[in-house]
């Protein structure tokens, strides 16, 4: 194991290991913690990897503890990595004042506005720095997929659209599909990226698909009783329209009665893991 990783905790799960590591991030200029589930097959061979990006207020722990993903990941021989959702310990002015901006709300963009541009480069952390670190430290095959929930669903879509050669597939649960056109996105992008809305388009899945196409098979689940759907924060219909315009391969499943919680994620995570495994 590389000296740059400090083991925080480990738990055996379905024959594999859930481990949490702390490391110094140069991109974020702070210490970060991530979680990795290594299936039992990783004891003897390299395994494919699913990146999971979590939503607002989450850390690396929520998905690993609540989603019920380890059983199927162990069966398939798939590793899962969960980064944190924002820099930690930076204590910038106003950083902890609201749930949808600052702490736990990095939105997987590279901030350009002060003071956020000192630390809030979650896109570069997820796409560049952390992958370099983990591929040097763990038995990973180089085959990768990406998924996420809500803000993390937005992040998964944007990461995949900017790096079509990196990920074999992408999926999302209740993603923020069109952040240029919802209050969550407008608050985050205005704060991190400034007032020029044209620059925001590089971080909006619908705009990226219209500009560059949709190169991946995409699976999206959306709960029908999701209060954020009713509030206009998610807008899966905008994603469906964008994919329709370019002939994208989107499977959008509306799940009646399900809300925005991890009960929803746990109910359908097996479908997503098997979807990714077919592409990996």
Catalytic machinery residues: 150, 226, 260
- Burial of 87 from C-beta contacts in 10 A (0-12 / 13-18 / 19+): buried
Return the residue matching tokens 């949490």.
20
For residue 24, what are its two tokens? Answer: 């110094």
Q: Is 120 left (phi over 0), alpha (psi -120 to 50) or beta?
A: beta
Check if the beta carbon of residue 239 is closer than 8 Å to that of residue 178.
yes
Helix (H/G/I), strand (E/B), else coil: 20: strand
Residue 205 burial (CB count, 10 A): 29
Check if the beta carbon of residue 53 is closer than 8 Å to that of residue 83.
yes
């Amino acid at each position: 194991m590389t000296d740059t990783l400090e083991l925080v905790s480990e738990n055996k799960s379905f024959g594999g290991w859930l481990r949490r590591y702390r490391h110094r991030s140069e991109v974020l200029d702070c210490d970060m913690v991530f979680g990795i589930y290594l299936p039992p097959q990783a004891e003897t061979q390299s395994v494919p990897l699913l990146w999971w990006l979590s939503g607002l207020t989450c850390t690396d722990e929520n998905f690993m503890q609540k989603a019920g993903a380890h059983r199927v990941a162990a069966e398939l021989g798939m590793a899962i990595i969960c980064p944190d959702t924002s820099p930690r310990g930076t204590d910038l002015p106003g950083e902890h004042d609201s749930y949808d901006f600052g702490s736990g709300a990095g939105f997987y963009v590279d901030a350009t506005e002060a003071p956020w541009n000192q630390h809030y480069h979650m896109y570069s952390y997820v796409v560049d720095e952390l992958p370099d670190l983990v591929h040097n430290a763990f038995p990973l095959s180089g085959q990768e997929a990406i998924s996420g929930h809500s803000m993390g669903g937005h992040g998964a879509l944007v990461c995949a659209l900017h790096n079509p050669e990196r990920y074999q597939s992408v999926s999302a649960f209740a993603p923020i599909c069109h952040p240029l056109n919802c209050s969550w996105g407008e608050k985050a992008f205005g704060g991190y990226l400034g007032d020029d809305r044209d620059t925001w388009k590089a971080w909006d899945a619908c705009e990226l698909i219209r500009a560059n196409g949709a190169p991946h098979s995409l699976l999206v689940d959306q709960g029908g009783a999701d209060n954020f759907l009713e509030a206009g924060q998610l807008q899966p219909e905008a994603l469906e329209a964008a994919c329709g315009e370019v002939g994208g391969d989107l499977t959008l499943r509306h799940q009646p009665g399900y809300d925005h919680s991890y009960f929803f994620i746990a109910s359908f995570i097996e479908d997503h893991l098997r979807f990714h495994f077919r592409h990996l």
